[in-house]
Amino acid sequence: MSRRAYRGVALAALIFLVVQVGALALVPTFFEQGYQTVEDPTDPTNSLLYIGAIIVMTAFMLAAFKYDLDQLIRLVIVFTSGLLAWYVFAALIPSALVAVGLSAAVALALLVYPEWYVIDAAGTLMGAGAAALFGISFGLLPAIVLLSVLAVYDAISVYKTKHMLDLAEGVMDLRIPVVLVIPTTLSYSILGDDFASDANDVGDGGNATDGGESTGAVDSEVADAETADNESDSGERDAFFIGLGDAVMPTVMVASGAFFSEAPSLGLGALPALNLPALLAMVGTFAGFSGLMWAVMKGRAHAGLPLLNGGAIGGYLVGSVVAGVPLVSALGLAPYL
């Protein structure tokens, strides 16, 4: 990889790290604030309902693009962005008025000036909030089921049916935080980019979205590790794109492991929820991330979730065993045996 490519990969890694650390920091506060979205977080059917919502949302978005309802999708996702921002700000800021104002500012910035750094800042905020919400709402077994099924779905939608490539093509032109924009040069501007000509070069991994859930992870729905053929005169790519869901979904395993695992806390003051299973889930995510970036830099569209979710689940299980948690408990199967 060139120096520019390394800078881009470093920025993407930093965003992933901020999403994961942010989710871990939010987990205790979200639970105390009553943000848990399901009655029984240990019920694995919660995952199946969520996956069904993903399929419905995918079909809705594809239909919307087909019938030129792009701006409707944009408004829905911008509203979702403001909603998720409100969840985060309301949990951290005592003043409800300030929290509402800041979340409205996030949505307004996306509408008025969706430059890459605005999209990435909003996406990072949303990603941390969504992952924390899912993490306290999906117990260990539901989280593992969710991530495993989404990894398979992601691979099928990118390599087999390729419908996520169509979805990514439509979403990227809307300049919304469904995708994280990773520039390799500071002079890059997404506002001047024309993605229509890059339709066959855009890859997405369809990391799925939340499909309109109250958590609003609708952004994760499209584009996974995708690349657009945005090249400078030197032949180097000016930017590449990673679906926000690629950052959110493995972080769900991190947050769920931190919240539901029997393993003791590592005692890190700023992150009281962090334990060894969650820490190694983070390490596993970045192992998958390294493999994904290696593939993406070769210029092809790739499904991100098989590597990312697989790394997160594998790291979580290794961390559980090392922490002395029985494998049956680590998998969330103890209530059923």
Question: Which two three-digit tokens encode residue 140?
Answer: 């260990």
> What pLDDT, on the 0 to 100 scale, is given for residue 195?
59
Measure Cα distances from 111 to 66, 118, 156 in Å: 22, 10, 33
Q: Tokens standing for 11?
A: 């920025």
Instruction: Name, in order, each residue with C-beta under 8 angstroms of 4's C-beta and a sequence gap of 6 or more.
Output: 184, 185, 236, 237
The full 3-state SS of 290-307, as one line of letters, equals HHHHHHHCCCCCCCCHHH
Backbone angles phi, psi at 230, to 5 degrees: -85, 95
What is the distance between the alpha carbons of residues 251 and 117, in angstroms, rounded to a whole number?
22
The pLDDT of residue 206 is: 36
Q: 3-class secondary structure for 151-170?
A: HHHHHHHHHHCCHHHHHHHH
**What is the predicted pLDDT for the residue at 202?**
37
- Which token pair is 151? 């990894």
Q: What is the pLDDT of residue 213?
A: 30
Q: Which helix (H) or strand (E) holds 225?
A: strand 225-231
Q: What is the dihedral of CA 134, 224, 305, 200, to 10 degrees?
A: 150
Per-residue pLDDT of the chain (337 residues; tens, 9 = 90+): 678 888 899 999 999 999 999 999 999 999 999 999 888 999 999 998 888 888 888 888 888 888 888 888 899 999 999 999 999 999 889 899 999 999 999 999 999 999 999 999 999 999 999 999 999 999 999 999 999 999 999 999 888 887 777 777 777 888 889 889 999 888 899 987 765 544 333 333 333 333 323 223 333 333 344 434 445 445 567 888 888 999 999 999 999 999 999 999 998 888 999 999 999 999 999 999 999 988 877 766 678 999 999 999 999 999 999 999 999 999 999 877 7
pLDDT at residue number 238: 83
What global pTM score does this model have?
0.86
Q: 206, 154 in Cβ contact below 8 A?
A: yes
pLDDT at 224: 42
Distance of CA 88 to the CA centre of its chain: 16
How many C-beta atoms surround the C-beta of residue 99 within 10 A? 19
